[in-house]
Amino acid sequence: MKVHVRIKRFNPEKDRRPYWADYEVPTDPFDRVLDVLHYIKWNLDGTLALRRSCAHGICGSDAMLINGRNRLACKVLVKDLGDRITVEPLRGLPVIKDLVVDMEPFFAKYRQVMPWLVNDEPPPARERLQSPEERARIDDTTKCILCAVCTTACPIFWGNGEFLGPAALVAAHRFIFDSRDRAAAERLAILAERSGAFKCRTVFNCTDACPQGIEITKAIQELKRAIVLSRA
């Protein structure tokens, strides 16, 4: 089959504004959008810029807007889109070129929630053990691959550059509810600020978009509850 592909392109070194470029691509229904983009780059226009690495939904580097929804290009099959495909860069982050956005603002917010284990107690002889129940508490939020799909699907994030965004809140959840960590109070204080969890208006865009199926809105609600209880 042939698909018609429209890509929003922009090279800040020569374009005054973004424009749509059109391509006809021979493809198989079971090809992924990433294969289609590779075909364009390798056969039609080598100047197309995109990020990807694993091609198997693990690294999170090929997040983009596909037919109006935030997706990973390596996880979307052509057969599920039909014969017209539009591809745009993620919203809310500066475009470096074509489908490549500047992830630094995203990672700056991630770093704000201290996404690492804090425990100054003397280390045990072997490892810091967790029960299966304790591990289950953070099972969902440990699945995050930092693709930025959730944060860049969030209208609060688009409208308020201060908001930490869903991905940073998911990272905070993963450590706050980790039985081995000792910095929950410090993180909850960060999340209680104006840029934190209460900026979330439960729109659910993040949960709908997450390629890992993480229940993000539920995790954010758990954080809000923990903030309130920490101040009771």
Give the footprint of ligand FES on this chain (CB under 6 A): 52-55, 57-62, 72, 74
Residue 58 binds which entry of ligand FES, ligand SF4, none, with Cβ cut-offs from 5 to 8 Å by kind?
ligand FES
Q: Which stretch binds ligand SF4 (CB under 6 A): 2-10, 43-51, 191-199, 203-211?
A: 203-211
Rg over alpha carbons for the chain, rounded to the nearest Å, is 20
138 binds ligand SF4 (CB under 6 A): no
- Binding string, residues 53-92; x marks residues near ligand SF4 by CB under 6 A: -------x--------------------------------
Query: Residue 50 or residue 147: which is nearer to ligand SF4 going by CB?
Result: 147
In DSSP notation, 60-109 reads -TTEEEETTEEEEGGG-BGGGT-SEEEEEPPTTS-EEETTEE--HHHHHH
CA 61 centroid distance within chain: 9
CA 198 centroid distance within chain: 20
**Smallest separation, CB 39 to ligand SF4 (Å):** 26
Taking CB under 6 A as the criterion, the residue among 149, 168, 172, 200 binding ligand SF4 is: 149
**Smallest separation, CB 146 to ligand FES (Å):** 10
Beta pairing, strands 63-66 & 69-72: antiparallel
Residue 210 binds which entry of ligand SF4, ligand FES, none, with Cβ cut-offs from 5 to 8 Å by kind?
ligand SF4
165 binds ligand SF4 (CB under 6 A): no
φ, ψ (nearest 5 deg) of residue 207: -65, -40
- The residue type found at 91 is R
95 binds ligand SF4 (CB under 6 A): no
Could you tell me which of 222, 208, 220, 214 has the C-alpha nearest to residue 153? 208
CA angle 73-74-78, nearest 5°? Answer: 75
Query: Residue 63 or residue 200: which is nearer to ligand FES going by CB?
Result: 63
Q: Which residues contact 167 (CB under 8 A, 6 or more apart)?
A: 106, 109, 110, 144, 146, 148, 150, 151
Q: Residue 105 in contact with residue 85, Cβ under 8 Å?
A: no
Taking CB under 6 A as the criterion, the residue among 65, 101, 138, 148 binding ligand SF4 is: 148
214 binds ligand SF4 (CB under 6 A): yes
Number of residues forming the site for ligand SF4 (CB under 6 A): 17
